[in-house]
Every structure is written in structure tokens, then in C-alpha cells.
Amino acid sequence: MAQQKISLTRYLVEQQRADGLIPGQLRLLLEVVARACKSISMAVNKGDLGGVLGSADSENVQGEVQKKLDIIANEVLIEANEWGGHLAAMASEEMDSIYVVPNRYPQGEYLLLFDPLDGSSNIDVNVSIGTIFSVLKKPDEHPGVQEADFLQAGAKQVAAGYCIYGPQTTLVLTVGHGVAMFTLDREQGSFVLTKEDIQIPADTKEFSINMSNMRHWDEPVKRYIDECLAGSEGPRAKDFNMRWIASMVTDVHRILMRGGIFMYPWDKREPGKPGKLRLMYEANPMSWLVEQAGGAATNGRDRILDLQPTKLHERVSVILGSKNEVERVTSYHNPL
């Protein structure tokens, strides 16, 4: 008899029921996020036919030109999540401040953060892009919700994941007990469990960094990459390969599937800016997934999940992936 497929819904119900790993409200919230990702996947697939490509002629709070799909994905996530009663508020790369659930809907106890469309520069060239999300619990000291409630270290996340819109639509999730992967079965219209307990090998021969920024890097990053480039004749005594997709979601997915190290480090172009990537809805969820899969994630000096955010759209330097490589780069920043 063919093996029974396990849907995301069933997986989450089993986590809740048999193992008591997630509360019912969190399960429902994650199902809604997955449904929203399914809608975004449909929109992405239509491409030119759906009129979803190209620029929206507007800028987000970070001064970046928004693509039509950035805005569509943001709206899909808000509309799917605002009425279900699981959430108190949402925050997104594409919104200046938090979006409090309107009081015509029931208020829930969770906070949802997302990068609705990661890899915006790849949208119009038909390269994989994705949605990244992070779930926090609203501190219950006071009624209502404010931006300060979101400013919790990544270690406090209760769920994190991403969905990739690529050759397959793939949702990867952690609720703090390992990492599971689900593939969208378009005929059934549901996400089906395709990998459980994903593990990142501790060693790797593959690095991922935007090499065009080399002249701006800090010394420790330059040293690490120089040593990789020296190959089998150099101090690492092995040849390295390089990949840079320029969609963090896809570069991190590759690392979860076969190992590697991903870096978007601080550099000298804008010394006052800690990095390019955003802490709360890019670095934190990805760092937790990577740690849950046995990898590591630092900003060069400290564990990303321990960083105390000071603002919603805070940026951070990111070094994550295979444990031994991340520890090596971190040790170059923190000499004994």
C-alpha cells in the first residue's frame, strides 16, 4: 500500500495533540500563514499573465523601491491573518509601523512579523523568491499592543519559517522541536510533509556572499573568504564552491538542504549601518531554523538570537549555516 501523505494540517494537529508541543491558537495561526503563502504562490506563478511583475512606483520605510509583488504579498498576509482571532498585531518589511488587528475582530495573543516577499530583485527575472515569517507571544503586562511588544530577542520566537516560490513551493517550519519541510501538492491544494528533522552538516565546502562587495569588507570576513579562495593549496587545504542567489530565503534553503555558509556582513560602505538584512523578520527566523537544524548564526561577534532589538526595522550583520564554519568566522572577529 502506498504510504499515506501527511498534510501540514495533520502534522500540526499531531504536534498539538499527541506531543502537546504547540497550543491550538498557534496551530491555527500557522495554518492561516500557510494558506496565505499558497495564495502568494499562485500570484507569483501567474507572472506576466497576472500583471504582477514590475515596480509599484512607491518606496517602503527603508527607502527601497517596492515591487508590485511586495505589496500584493503584504496585503495577502494581512487579509488572511487579521480576522482569525489568533493575532494581536502584525509587522512587516513593507509597513512603517505595526498593524494592530482592528477591534471589529477578536484579539489574539500572538504577534506575527514577516518579510512578505524576500529576494525582490529576483521577482522580474523568474528566480526563486519567498516569504519569511516569525511568531512571538504578546507580553501580557498591559492591555492593547504597542511596537515595544515586538522588541523581543529571537530566542523568544514561538514559531518561525519561510515559504519558497521556486520550481516547487516549499514551506519550512520550526516550532522549536526541529525543522520540517512541506511541499505544495497543487493537485490536492495542500502542503505535504516531505522532510523531517532536517540537519545541516557541521562542515562545508560552499560559501555564499555577494563578492562584489569584497573591497568594502571588514578584515575578518576578507580573511575567511581569502582562505576559502586559496583552495587546496591554502590553509583550509580544500577547494570551495560559491553560490549567491541574492534571495536570502533561497540561499538559506540550500544551506538547510546540503550545508554551506551564508554571509551578509557589515561593511565599510555605510559604517553606521549594522548590515543590510533585517533582524526581526529576516535574521531571527532564519537563525532559529538554522540552529534548530544543528547550525549556527552570529553577527560576527554574538549569537543573533540573543540580540535585543531596539527598533522594528533594525538591521544586522548575518553569518549563518554550517556550525564549524560559522564558529571559524566568528573566532576571526573575536580573537582570544
Ligand X SMILES: O=P(O)(O)OC[C@H]1O[C@](O)(COP(=O)(O)O)[C@@H](O)[C@@H]1O
Report whether 210 belongs to an annotated binding site: yes
DSSP run (H or E) holding 30: helix 24-46
121 contact, one of Mg ion, ligand X, none, CB 5-8 Å limit per kind = ligand X
Q: What is the DSSP code (8-state) at residue 188?
A: T
Query: Which CB atom, from 38 or from 313, has the smaller least distance to ligand X?
Result: 313
Residues 114-133 that bind Mg ion (CB under 5 A): 115, 117-118
Rounded to whole angstroms, the Cα distance separating 178 from 191 reads: 18
Report whether 81 belongs to an annotated binding site: no
Say whether residue 131 binds ligand X (CB under 6 A): no
Residue 155: Cβ-neighbour burial (10 angstroms; 0-12, 13-18, 19+): middle
Say whether residue 121 binds ligand X (CB under 6 A): yes
The DSSP annotation for 211-223 comes to: GGGGGGB-HHHHH
Query: Could you tell me the smallest distance in angstroms from the CB atom of residue 311 to Mg ion?
Result: 17
- Parallel, antiparallel, or unpaired for β 261-264 and 206-208? parallel
The sign one gets for the Cα dihedral 61, 67, 73, 75 is: positive
Residue 120: count other Cβ atoms within 10 Å of its Cβ: 22
Say whether residue 248 binds ligand X (CB under 6 A): yes
CB of 40 within 8 A of CB of 163?
yes
Count of helices and strands (H, E) across the chain: 7, 17
Query: Could you tell me the smallest distance in angstroms from the CB atom of residue 157 to ligand X?
Result: 19
Among 6, 151, 192, 246, binds ligand X (CB under 6 A): 246
Query: Which CB atom, from 11 or from 114, has the smaller least distance to ligand X?
Result: 114
Residues 68-97 that bind Mg ion (CB under 5 A): 93
How many residues in the shown chain lie near ligand X by CB under 6 A?
Answer: 11
Query: Could you tell me the smallest distance in angstroms from the CB atom of residue 184 to Mg ion?
Result: 20
Which span sits near ligand X by CB under 6 A: 48-56, 102-110, 216-224, 245-253?
245-253
CB of 104 within 8 A of CB of 85?
no
Report whether 115 belongs to an annotated binding site: yes
Report whether 276 belongs to an annotated binding site: yes
Per-residue mark of binding to ligand X, 34-73 (x: CB under 6 A): ----------------------------------------
Which span sits near ligand X by CB under 6 A: 6-14, 119-127, 134-142, 145-153?
119-127
Among 45, 188, 210, 331, binds ligand X (CB under 6 A): 210
Report whether 26 belongs to an annotated binding site: no
- Distance of CA 66 to CAs 55, 69, 98, 287, Å? 6, 8, 18, 25
Q: What does residue 30 show for φ and ψ, rounded to 5 degrees?
A: -65, -35
Report whether 134 belongs to an annotated binding site: no
Rounded to whole angstroms, the Cα distance separating 37 from 162 reads: 9
Residue 248: Cβ-neighbour burial (10 angstroms; 0-12, 13-18, 19+): buried
C-alpha cell, 329: 568566522
Binding-site members for substrate are 118-121, 210, 276
Task: Please report, as ranges, the residues that interact with Mg ion according to CB under 5 A.
Answer: 93, 115, 117-118
List the binding residues.
Answer: 93, 115, 117-121, 210, 276, 282
Question: Applying CB under 6 A, which residues contact ligand X?
Answer: 93, 115, 118-121, 210, 246-248, 264
The annotated binding site for Mg(2+) is made up of: 93, 115, 117-118, 282
